[in-house]
Amino acid sequence: MSIQAPSFIQSVGIIIQQEFQRLFFSRQGGLYLFAFIFFWALMLRYVIVNVSNFLAQQGAQTDWSDTVFSTYFNISLYLFPLLCIFIAANQTGADRERGTLRLLLMRTSRDVIFFGRFLAQVCIQYCLILFTATSTLLLGFYYQGFNLSAVSNAFIMASNIALVLLPFIALMALLSASFKSSKQATISAALIWSMASGIITGISHYFPAVEPLKMLIPGMQFSSLSLLEGVEMFSMAYIPLLQTAALLIAGRFIMHRSSV
């Protein structure tokens, strides 16, 4: 009796499980989690708590969540993409450098590896977003008291952070498929992002007609997104979704063309 090979979804699920095990049960992953939790604890203590204390002094007991989660959003909006450039840079490049990619391809396809590693990074980053949003929410409850609107604000802010993070993870998936080390992918991401944003910003200053090209670069909508409130923020959700789709298509093409 022949053994049926795992389906695409099952194979992707196995890769996601392996990436979580590497994060939570390895020394390197543990150090990263410790550093992240320590850094976020500092943010809570010296930023979120100070905002809560200020609101308490001003007597703002009913609408504290707007200010607290606006602060949370502005911090996370730049913190998570920056972390993503470093953490998600090693999706497939290291396997190619060590020669293990060839071994993996004997058991599964390039699509499974590429999309499995991408989705694994998405799940990991989303767990961190959930942790930061929940800790901010609980801290707000502790200092200001329970507020139902705070739950809504936490969901809206965390969901938008999750959306804007997608193209950054996809960008690192593309670059990881292009280079053999996470260092090369990280440096390339910084150079590509800074050069592309600088060139398009400079050209659009003299030729306003090319202003919409800014939307091709992940993160260029951040300033506009920060001006929106509540569910209006989801009106810009199409931008990171389209960016992610384009980057994944390009990354898949490179993954299939690259040598092992």
pLDDT in tens, the chain (260 residues): 444 557 778 888 888 888 888 878 778 778 888 888 898 988 888 887 787 677 666 655 546 788 888 889 988 998 898 888 888 877 776 677 676 777 777 777 888 888 988 999 999 999 999 999 999 999 888 877 788 888 999 999 999 999 999 999 999 889 888 887 778 888 888 888 888 877 877 887 777 777 777 777 888 888 888 888 888 999 999 999 999 999 999 999 988 887 66
Distances (CA, A) of 156 to 24, 39, 52, 69: 28, 23, 19, 9
CA–CA separation, 138 and 56 (whole Å): 16
pLDDT at 234 (0 to 100): 92
Q: 24: which residues sit within 8 A by CB, 6+ positions away? A: 30, 33
Q: Domain map of the chain by residue range? A: 8-257
pLDDT at 1 (0 to 100): 43
pTM (2 d.p.): 0.87
pLDDT at 58 (0 to 100): 64
Contact predicate 182/256, CB 8 Å: no
pLDDT at 260 (0 to 100): 61
Which residue, among 215, 223, 239, 214, has the nearest Cα to 164 in the 3D structure?
A: 239
Tell me the CA end-to-end span of the chain in Å, nearest whole number. Answer: 33
